[in-house]
Structure 1
Amino acid sequence: MKRAALLCLLAAGCAAQPSARGGGIVSLNPCADAMLVELVPPGRIAAISKYSRDPATSSIAPEVARRFPINHGTAEEIIALRPDIVIADSFTSASTREAFARAGVKALYLGWANTIDQSKAQVRELAAAVDAVPAGEAMIARIDAAVAAARTDRPPVPALLWIGGNTVNGANTLLDEMMIKAGFSDHAAHYGLRGTGYLPIEHVVADPPRVMLVPDRAGRDADSRAAAMRGWALARSGASVHQARYDRSLVNCGGPAIARAMTRLAEIRREVTP
């Protein structure tokens, strides 16, 4: 048993294990993970979502995510941990919700934030649920300060924000609002794309943006091929497109990521003329 426990501690992907006492906060939601690690002391977090260990879905630095046990979101696993509260999302299945209710597990189900104001409301909701209201207000103050600092009187510059592969961010999203506040116009919305979706390379070549925000690391092979093809096609077309690295962790969630995203967007906007 001792050897097994040691191996589990040494393994970066070690899943959450039930403790004798239980308690603490268990999060099944990677966006809640990102908020929790800044709202409460580490000792209050019993487990975070497995998605926060994946660079494609995480909004937490890898070294931070590795400090916490992870869970895989099964009702049986979570109930065995005997948490004080579970933070899940509005997409949680009815069967999982029923299992939590039958076991007497307190749960908070967070919805999806499509605007900065909705994200701030979500911060307040979570902070209240975990008794961290002052930390929540401090997080909101950081968001407001970053949004204010990113404002510009310069004319908006057309930009595309690539999520990965040939997928871009479109209109009526949190990312869209942040881009606009930082002095960009979302070129995917100009193409008529709402939400996040697939954008054929032909659209980009025929009507290129001034700026392309691209993931900081290629990730999957398909993403690398798509990026290489875009670069080749745009070079052949002679289009002048400024490509700027944009950390993948800034596109997954709101909350504390908004402040970092607004700071990065403002930096990129200052690189581009006019």
Structure 2
Amino acid sequence: MSINLCTDQLAMLLAGEGQLISVSRIALDRRASAMADEAAHYVINSGRAEEVHVMRPDLVVAGVYTSRDTVAMLRRLGIEVVLFDIVESLDEVRTRITEMGEALGRQAEAQKMVARFDADLAAMRDDDGPDENAPRAALYYANGYTSGKNSLANDILAAAGLRNAPAEAGYAWGKLPLEILTMIDPDLVITSRRYPGGSRAEEVMDHPVVNALRGQAVSAALTDQDWVCGTPFVLRAISDMSAARRRVEADEPETTKSEAGG
């Protein structure tokens, strides 16, 4: 049984027939989950210790930031809980796949998945990384947050041949002031997909400064479900960013779905 979005997806990818009985409700959210369709075939849980205990699983997989009270209660009830750390690099994607394979007794399947991941990644990226002339990208999320060095998002950009402009300016993970974004003047602004309804936190992504930067370059919406967790789906994020880089290099405007008839 899984009670965390990222372990949900790793477990769905690696579990044997009938081995996984339940995933978290967030696995159904298409904005965050790359496997929403697959998740619909499982019993959905809300991550509460009471409902986990009722289902009497042999093993629960969860994240290190899953409620400590929930994890402690499950362990007091005699249920084994394996915790998985967040992923901060492409190298750690391999590690998490291997760890899930060990937790589920599916080591051979995990090794095959890692081999496929490595082969696909090698075919997509330049091992030397982006050169000094590569387009400069800035990640700009709700509340003006960005991802700098030592992050999975930074590795995705590098694998796609993009330079992380805020990281080069000395910013790690945290809030990036609009003034600094303007001074950085990136070639590519990458924002996150908005949630339904109004959100003051997301309004900054439509600030005139951000729109002006988009107006002078190609903008790309960050496909959240492929970036959130350290799974093989990060390869799709790299592919998307590689396509965005090529558009910037060709100085071609991005074609929207509506313009393409989609």
Sort the TM-score into its range (normalised by shorter chain): 0.7 to 0.9
In the alignment, which residue of structure 1 is the partner of 2:253? none
Amino acid across the alignment from 2:221: R
Measure how far apart 1:129 and its partner are: 1.1
Q: Which residue of 1 aligns with 2:111?
A: 137
Relative distance call for 1:110 and 1:45 in structure 2 (3 A) is same
Q: Which amino acid aligns with 2:245?
A: R
Q: Distance in 2 between matches of 1:161 and 1:42?
A: 39
Contact 2:142-2:203 at 8 Å conserved across structures: no
- AA partner of residue 191 (structure 2): V
What amino acid is aligned across from residue 27 of structure 1 in structure 2?
S
Q: Which residue among 209, 232, 235 is the counterpart of 1:259?
A: 235
1:53 aligns with 28
What is the Cα deviation at residue 120 of structure 1?
A: 0.9
Give the aligned partner of residue 178 of structure 2.
201
Contact 2:90–2:230 at 8 Å: present in 1 too? Answer: yes
> What is the match of residue 27 of structure 1?
2
Unaligned runs of 5+ in 2: 251-262
CA RMSD of aligned residues (A): 2.5
TM-score normalised according to structure 2 size: 0.82
Shift of 1:30: 0.5
1:233–1:93 CA distance, 2 compared to 1 (3 A)? closer
Q: Is the 8 A contact 1:217 1:248 kept in 2?
A: no
2:61–2:82 Cα contact (<8 Å) kept: yes
Q: Closer, same or farther in 2 for the Cα pair 1:55/1:200, shift >3 Å?
A: farther
SS at match of 1:272: helix
Alignment partner of 1:40 is 2:15: yes
Output the CA distance in 1 between the equivalents of 2:45 and 2:122: 37
CA shift in 2, pair 1:236/1:243, >3 Å? closer
TM-score (norm 1): 0.79
Matches within 5 A, 1:1-274: 26-41=1-16, 43-56=18-31, 58-152=32-126, 155-195=133-173, 197-217=174-194, 219-222=196-199, 225-229=203-207, 232-234=208-210, 240-273=216-249
Give, in angstroms, the shift of residue 157 of structure 1: 1.8
1:174, distance to aligned residue in structure 2 (A): 1.3
State the 1:141 CA deviation: 2.3
The sequence identity of aligned pairs, in percent, is 25
* Distance (Å, rounded) in 1 between the aligned partners of 2:25 and 2:202: 25
State the AA in 2 paired with 1:259.
Answer: L
* Structure 1 position 76, deviation (Å): 1.6
Paired amino acid for 2:106: A
Alpha-carbon deviation of 1:90?
1.9
After superposition, what is the alpha-carbon deviation per residue over 1:34-90, rounded to whole angstroms, capped at 9, x for unaligned? 11221124632211112223344x232432332222211121211111012100122
Q: Secondary structure, in 3 states, of the residue corresponding to 1:209?
A: coil
CA contact (8 A) 2:6 2:63 kept: no
Distance 1:134 1:267, change over 3 A: farther
Equivalent pair of 2:135/2:163 in contact (CA under 8 Å):
yes
**Unpaired segments ≥5 residues, structure 1:** 1-25
State the aligned residue count: 245
Cα separation, 2, equivalents of 1:212 and 1:138: 36
